[in-house]
Structure formats: structure tokens, C-alpha cells
Amino acid sequence: MVNTARASVAQQSPGLALRIDNLSHAFSLEGHRLPVLERVSLDVAAGEFVALLGPSGCGKSTLLRLVAGLEPADRGTLLADGVAITSPDPSRVVVFQDPTLYPWRRVWDNVALGLEAQGLLKTTRGKVDQALAKVGLSQFARAYPRQLSGGMAQRVALARALVNEPRLLILDEPLGKLDSLTRIAMQQELIDLWQRQGYTALLVTHDVEEALLLANRVIVFSDRPATIKAELTIDRGYPRHRDDPYLLDLRKQILGLLGLAESW
């Protein structure tokens, strides 16, 4: 079921194939070298949904920043469809951990940011309205970010990313701040959009269940410096059910890998 969906997606290939090869990265913190990523290799097929799990501070956000092209990697190769990633590109859009909306722009103008920056806004204004409708915030188009709740702001950030029709959607705990009801709705929305548009998705999350509900594959990272500890393929179609024994079993495995076997 998943495979057929992915096959049809691959024909139009709206997704982007990502290759991470032997990637290492370090920061300098008060004069000390702080290794954050250690020889990370990962291939993500076009149209695949990959979830990254790992302890806090292990380097997941750093990996996403490198993939986005916001910083050059110390060592290793990053290829998007075979082309080296050297700078940010609107085909690879990030939804950051914080919504970081521009407080001086109304919600509508925040969502329109990418199209405006690329000089496409004049011909694509309808897309902004659609993206706002998708996240259920059409009513708040004229509001300022300060007038939104935390969850609403995060939904605006999601709309701001989706409106660019990215080929790789990079999600850094985008649902972390949402209440559980909105979160379930947004998870459903992400899956629907992904199935419809066929982008490649890279999702960092702290929520094992979320990873299992959304992803084709889950990558578990070790503590800092992050190395890949395990890879699990989730062979289940959508929609998935959180009480599926197969998923519950995987969840137990992953929690074990994260050193949390007891808390299950």
C-alpha cells in the first residue's frame, strides 16, 4: 500500500532524494571543540518520510541546519538529487523548532514570505489563502503574531513552509508546542499533504508515537556526538492506528534504544 503510493509519487518525482555521507560537524564552545555529528550517513529516497529520534542536545537540529544549507558542514558530503548542498534553497524548506514569525507582519504576510522573497507573490496570492485555509487559520489572516496562541503560531509557520511547495520538507519538532488534540489533527494533515504532494520529509521529534504514525523509516541517534544507533523501517500503510500491536512493539524497541525501556 505504501509502496504503490510511493511508486506513483516517484513517477512525477516531486520529492527530492537526499544523500548524507560521512557527515561530521563540531562547534567551538568557549574555546573547546564540541563534536556534534560523527560520521553520519543516511540516504533518503525521493518521497520518503524519515523521522529522526535522539536524546535532547545530541545534534538533530544541527543536522537539519546542515541539510537546509544554513551552515557548511565540517566534513562529509551532502547531496540533494546528486547536487552538493552549499546554500539554502526554497526547494528545501525548514519548519523550525520555534515558529519565528515576523512580529511586524500580519499572519497573511508571514505566510507569503517565501513567495515574496522569490518574487512570485503577484501571481500566486491564491496559494497563500489556500495554505492558511489548510491549517485552519483563514479567519486570522489579518492578525498579528502576538495575537495568536503558541499552537496557532506553529500552524502559521507550517503554512509558511507549505506554501512554497518544497521538494524536501524539513520539520524540527513542528508539533512539539501543540496541544494533543491539535497535534493529532496536524499529524493527519501532514500525512495527507505528504501523500498528495509527494515531497520528501525529514522530521525530528521527541514523540516516539508521532514518529511511528508518520514515518516510513525511523532513525535513532546516540547521545552527543550523534551517530546513527539504529534504523527501523515501518512497514505499515496509512492511516495508522496508535494501538496497532506492530507499532506498539516498535515503540518498545525504540524506547529501549533511547534508554527508556522502564518508563514504557
Ligand X SMILES: Nc1ncnc2c1ncn2[C@@H]1O[C@H](COP(=O)(O)OP(=O)(O)OP(=O)(O)O)[C@@H](O)[C@H]1O
Using the rule CB under 8 A, give the single segment among 8-16, 27-35, 44-52, 102-110 that binds other proteins. 102-110
Which of Mg ion, other proteins, ligand X, none does residue 36 bind to, with CB < 5 to 8 Å depending on kind? Answer: ligand X
Which of ligand X, Mg ion, other proteins, none does residue 58 bind to, with CB < 5 to 8 Å depending on kind? Answer: ligand X
Q: Which of 6, 53, 60, 108 binds ligand X (CB under 6 A)?
A: 60
Determine the Cα–Cα distance for residues 74 and 148; give it in Å rounded to an integer.
Answer: 39
DSSP summary character for residue 46: T
Determine the Cα–Cα distance for residues 173 and 249; give it in Å rounded to an integer.
Answer: 23
Q: Which of 13, 24, 61, 91 binds Mg ion (CB under 5 A)?
A: 61
Q: Which of 58, 132, 186, 211 binds ligand X (CB under 6 A)?
A: 58
Helices (H), the chain: 2-12, 60-68, 107-111, 113-117, 125-134, 150-162, 180-197, 208-214, 245-257
The Cα angle at residue 41 between residues 73 and 87, in degrees rounded to 5: 30
259 binds ligand X (CB under 6 A): no
Determine the Cα–Cα distance for residues 45 and 27; give it in Å rounded to an integer.
Answer: 29
114 binds other proteins (CB under 8 A): yes
At closest approach, how far in Å is the CB of 158 from ligand X?
A: 18
- Sign of CA pseudo-dihedral 101, 104, 107, 109: negative
Map the footprint of ligand X across residues 68-97, applying CB under 6 A. 97
Using the rule CB under 5 A, give the single segment among 58-66, 110-118, 222-230, 235-243 that binds Mg ion. 58-66
Please name every residue paired with 44 in a beta bridge, in sequence order, or none if there are none: 18
Using the rule CB under 5 A, give the single segment among 8-16, 29-37, 60-68, 207-215 that binds Mg ion. 60-68
Residues that bind ligand X (CB under 6 A): 27, 29, 34, 36, 54, 56-62, 97, 224
